[in-house]
């Protein structure tokens, strides 16, 4: 039983259904007579300290709230009946948000303009947090975009081969190992640390359904200090792909230079980055994709305990698309660098 009645909703809940395509939390749409809500069971296997997580979210939302013009421009937490920002019982940890009405959430860009809007949204989010006191943020997942550390864990998991799956994934393991030389490229570049979102998938920004303009950045669980190139790169990884993250026909999976350019224009137009940060944006795209592939592959080899899966081999399929994208980016590297240098033109 979900603890819906613990939250201060406007009226009794008429329905509560699983919602969205996130890989981490359990998300439910709760409908009351005069309002809708998003109820989430926080994945405490991933977020070990929900109290710290919720402190981060509450303070980021307060900061955003004082800066947005449209009230739908940032999420609103629904307090518990006791006035707390989240609720915990023996079944788990829960939080509730107002449903941001009149928006759409895309798993694939339907046009260059939609994808560019996500760039404008994430760029504006980063700009909005430029004066947020970064030292007050808890590290909700330590070493989240520490690619060398992701490799360290990956290699331990390969060596252990606890489920005997290594034999199913030789080609992918070899690909990952052959690309390890790039792993520290961002971390060793001396880039400025900013407050970043760190999970900038297209489906983590809501677009206004009428205007299709970016309206509200969601999924704030991983807001932590990071590099601008991480946010840029994770968006490209997911949204500039010509296929779904779990497409099994790899011939459909490429990185679209048109989508790359459209996103770059919008992102750079919305936040102001230094020259070294701009130069490393293509590396951000490649590394976030490689890192995500390594994470999917690690999870496959470990028995699918982190990312939600919907079929056998799902995480291996996901790893394959990421590595296909990395290989495709390598063939387009010079053009990606040129487009980035020209501000997305």
Q: List contacts with Mg ion (CB under 5 A).
A: 22, 204, 219
The nearest distance, CB 95 to ligand ADP, in angstroms, is 10
The nearest distance, CB 168 to Mg ion, in angstroms, is 28
For residue 167, the tally of other CB atoms under 10 A from its CB is 8
292, interface contact from ligand GN1, ligand ADP, Mg ion, none, CB < 5-8 Å by kind: ligand GN1
Q: Is 19 in the site for ligand ADP (CB under 6 A)?
A: yes
Start-to-end CA span in the chain (Å): 52
Give the DSSP H or E segment for 19: none
245, interface contact from Mg ion, ligand ADP, ligand GN1, none, CB < 5-8 Å by kind: ligand GN1
Site for ligand ADP (CB under 6 A): which residue of 219, 231, 291, 317?
A: 219
The nearest distance, CB 196 to ligand ADP, in angstroms, is 16
Say how far apart CA 19 and CA 16 lie, in whole Å: 9
> Rule CB under 6 A: which residues touch ligand GN1?
22-24, 46, 199, 201, 204, 219, 221-222, 234, 245, 292
Number of residues located near ligand ADP, criterion CB under 6 A: 19
Grouping H, G, I as helix, E, B as strand and the rest as coil, residue 21 is coil
Q: Which stretch binds ligand ADP (CB under 6 A): 48-56, 98-106, 144-152, 298-306?
A: 98-106
Q: Is 106 in the site for ligand ADP (CB under 6 A)?
A: no
Give whichever of 208 and 221 is closer to ligand GN1, judged by the CB atom. Answer: 221
30, interface contact from ligand ADP, ligand GN1, Mg ion, none, CB < 5-8 Å by kind: none
Contact characters 34-73, ligand ADP, x per CB under 6 A: ----x-----------------------------------
Chain residues that interact with ligand ADP, rule: CB under 6 A = 19-20, 22-25, 27, 38, 75, 97, 99-100, 105, 203-204, 206, 218-219, 221
């Amino acid at each position: 039983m979900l603890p819906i009645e613990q939250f201060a909703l406007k009226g009794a809940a008429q329905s509560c259904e699983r919602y969205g395509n996130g890989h981490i939390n359990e998300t439910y749409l709760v409908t009351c007579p005069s309002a809708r809500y998003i109820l989430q069971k926080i994945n405490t296997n991933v977020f070990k300290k929900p109290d710290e997580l919720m402190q981060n979210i509450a303070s980021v939302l307060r900061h955003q709230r004082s800066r947005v013009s449209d009230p739908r421009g940032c999420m609103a937490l629904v307090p518990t009946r006791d006035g707390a920002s989240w609720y915990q019982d023996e079944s788990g940890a829960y939080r509730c948000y107002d449903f941001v009405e009149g928006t759409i959430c895309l798993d694939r860009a339907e046009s260059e303009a939609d994808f560019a809007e996500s760039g404008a949204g994430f760029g504006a989010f980063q700009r909005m947090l430029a004066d947020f006191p970064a030292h007050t943020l808890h590290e909700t997942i330590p070493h989240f975009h520490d690619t060398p550390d992701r490799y360290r864990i990956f290699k331990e998991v390969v060596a252990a081969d606890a489920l005997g799956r290594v034999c199913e994934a030789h080609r992918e393991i070899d690909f990952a190992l052959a690309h390890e030389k790039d792993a520290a490229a961002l971390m060793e570049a001396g880039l400025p640390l900013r407050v970043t979102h760190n999970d900038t998938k297209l489906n983590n920004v809501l677009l206004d359904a009428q205007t299709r303009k970016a309206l509200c950045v969601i999924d704030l669980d991983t807001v932590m200090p990071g590099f601008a190139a991480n946010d840029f790169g994770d968006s490209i990884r997911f949204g500039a792909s010509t296929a779904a993250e779990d497409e099994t026909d790899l011939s459909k999976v490429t990185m679209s230079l048109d989508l790359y350019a459209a996103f770059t224009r919008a992102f750079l137009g919305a936040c102001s980055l230094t020259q070294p940060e701009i130069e490393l944006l293509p590396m951000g795209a490649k590394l976030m994709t490689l890192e995500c592939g390594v994470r999917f592959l690690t999870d496959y080899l470990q028995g699918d305990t982190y990312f939600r899966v919907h079929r056998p081999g799902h995480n291996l399929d996901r790893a394959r698309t990421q590595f296909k994208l990395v290989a495709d980016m390598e063939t387009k590297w010079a053009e990606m660098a040129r487009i980035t240098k020209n501000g997305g033109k």
